[in-house]
Amino acid sequence: MSDNSTDFTITGHWINGRTVPATGQPIPVTNPATGLVIATAPGGTPADVDAAVAVARAALAGWAATTPQHRASLITDLAAQLTTRAEEIARAVTAEIGAPISLARAAQAGLPPMVAMTTAGIAGEIAWEKEIGNSLVVREPVGVVGAITPWNFPLQQIMTKLAPALLAGNTLVLKPAELAPLTAGILAAAVAAAGIPDGVFNVVYGTGPIVGEAIAAHPGVDMVTFTGSTAVGKRISVLAAEKVKRVALELGGKSASVVLDDADLELAVGKTAETAFVNSGQVCGAWTRMIVPVSRQAEITRLLAAVAQEFTLGDPSDEATRVGPLASERQWQRVNGYIERGIAEGATLVTGGPGRVPGFETGAYIRPTVFADVDPGAAIAQEEIFGPVLCVIPYEDEEDAVRIANDSIYGLTGAVFGEPEHALAVARRLQTGQVDVNGAPFNPLAPFGGYKQSGNGREFGHLGVEEFTEVKAIQR
């Protein structure tokens, strides 16, 4: 499969276990490293959504009647099917969003089967039925779930919804991001090969305003699960409110990495730069504000400038590349605009900067960029940039550090670096859904989700499954 052919083209929606022609106009898919169109995806319409929802509703009773253990075994089979397609998945994501192939193999293709396996693995631990006094409290599927997902980790964002929703006995209609639709087609083939019944998982491709809104507002959709920007999350909530639907939102972030005065600075700099620059900074949970003691800012900035040099730009299909282009020309315009704004706002440019990168003019490449002396109220410190831009913000004392970290409309992730007990005490004070102390490893069973405008639900692990259940109390 080469990324300048039309091998990736998707010929129709996936409805009731087969490919169905779309009724709207095809949508081009562009490789951001070259600017070339590499495929088209179907353009859906509200009529296509109607067809998919009807099928998902018809499949619901049969699927919901199976046992969690049966569903878990099919999800395990799905993980195996995805693993056999890992290289195809990695190449598709590299072609559609420019993720470096080494990252695409490890994360874009590697994480989804891992999430499927860990979700299937907790089927026996969920309290599907529980006695509370004279009540039998049972968890049932919510029903037909509409899932709307972003482009930054396209398959992973789908899987964090699909695996728990299936385990809980729901059926789904998915609308993948129009910028990165290619892995949804591979997933549909894997779902069928795993033996998950026709109609349980359906895909309608298309744009947000047409297909996304039709799903959010559809009377036959019982729950909407959304990952994407805060602005679109608000719109979805409004549309879903008409039918008082369950809405689970995983939204934007502007997360803080707080460096205490007893921190290991090299560790703090290495870990923070990694989250800020990986996937070209297009990570919702990236730590994009590094909050540092004013007395250590110069030292930290020097270390950051050196570490940033290791994030070399390159052709994403080259195994040595650590940073590819941004996912689209539109993203480039947005991120470049913020870098120019940071300079205009008076922040100190430490490394990187605006403009096209020499030698990479045909793609959406931007340099990993670090600003220091950033005012906590500046636009680059408050707004989600969704690019490889790290803001170093100095603080006077610990109260000041906590105040700056919490001075955000967002609260998705975060980090604290320092002596472990000291760092834990500060982690408890941060208004955010996840905090890593001293770069602790990712835990696929830990709940992930946002405080404030970063969202209102949790994904992963037990809470991620319970999100897709209704609770009924039967008194006896």
User: Under rule CB under 6 A, how many of the chain's residues touch ligand NAD?
Assistant: 31
Residue from 48, 222, 384, 467 that binds ligand NAD (CB under 6 A)? Answer: 384
**Which residue number, 63 or 151, has a Cβ lying nearer to ligand NAD?**
151
Residue from 3, 48, 77, 213 that binds ligand NAD (CB under 6 A)? Answer: 213
Residue from 8, 14, 63, 151 that binds ligand NAD (CB under 6 A)? Answer: 151
Question: How many Å apart are CA 13 and CA 82, to the nearest integer?
Answer: 19
Paired residues of 144 in beta bridges: 171
Q: Which amino acid is at 431?
A: Q
Based on the shown chain and the rule CB under 6 A, indicate whether residue 438 belongs to the binding site for ligand NAD.
no
Based on the shown chain and the rule CB under 6 A, indicate whether residue 410 belongs to the binding site for ligand NAD.
no
Based on the shown chain and the rule CB under 6 A, indicate whether residue 22 belongs to the binding site for ligand NAD.
no
**Which residue number, 292 or 415, has a Cβ lying nearer to ligand NAD?**
415
- Applying the rule CB under 6 A, the residues between 266 and 305 that interact with ligand NAD are 284
- Write the DSSP symbol of residue 103: H
Residue from 228, 281, 324, 325 that binds ligand NAD (CB under 6 A)? Answer: 228
Q: How far is the CB of 110 from ligand NAD (least distance, A)?
A: 17
In 3D, which of 249, 251, 259 has the Cα closest to residue 457?
Answer: 249
**Which residue number, 169 or 252, has a Cβ lying nearer to ligand NAD?**
252
Q: Who contacts 348 (Cβ-Cβ below 8 Å, separation ≥6)?
A: 371, 372, 373
Q: Name the token pair of 290.
A: 């590094």
Based on the shown chain and the rule CB under 6 A, indicate whether residue 202 belongs to the binding site for ligand NAD.
no
In 3D, which of 249, 300, 279 has the Cα closest to residue 289?
Answer: 300
Residue from 46, 98, 150, 368 that binds ligand NAD (CB under 6 A)? Answer: 150
In 3D, which of 55, 113, 63, 62 has the Cα closest to residue 84?
Answer: 113
Q: Is 430 helix (H, G, I), strand (E, B) or coil?
A: coil
Cβ atoms 223, 145 nearer than 8 A: yes
Q: Is residue 250 annotated as part of the catalytic site, yes or no?
A: yes
* Residue given tokens 């003019």 in the structure block: 361
Q: How far is the CB of 131 from ligand NAD (least distance, A)?
A: 35
Rama region for 205: left / alpha / beta (φ>0; ψ in -120 to 50; rest): beta
**Which residue number, 147 or 263, has a Cβ lying nearer to ligand NAD?**
147
Q: Which amino acid is at 72?
A: A
Residue from 116, 167, 177, 223 that binds ligand NAD (CB under 6 A)? Answer: 177
Question: How many Å apart are CA 205 and CA 10, to the nearest integer?
Answer: 9
Question: How many Å apart are CA 278 and CA 423, to the nearest integer?
Answer: 24
Which region among 80-88, 94-102, 221-229, 436-444 touches ligand NAD (by CB under 6 A)? 221-229
**Which residue number, 184 or 194, has a Cβ lying nearer to ligand NAD?**
184
**Which residue number, 88 or 384, has a Cβ lying nearer to ligand NAD?**
384
Q: Name the token pair of 216.
A: 């959010």
Q: How far is the CB of 216 from ligand NAD (least distance, A)?
A: 5
Identified catalytic residue from 250, 384, 459, 467:
250
Identified catalytic residue from 88, 96, 284, 391:
284
Element (H, E) at 269: helix 265-277
Residues forming the active site = 250, 284
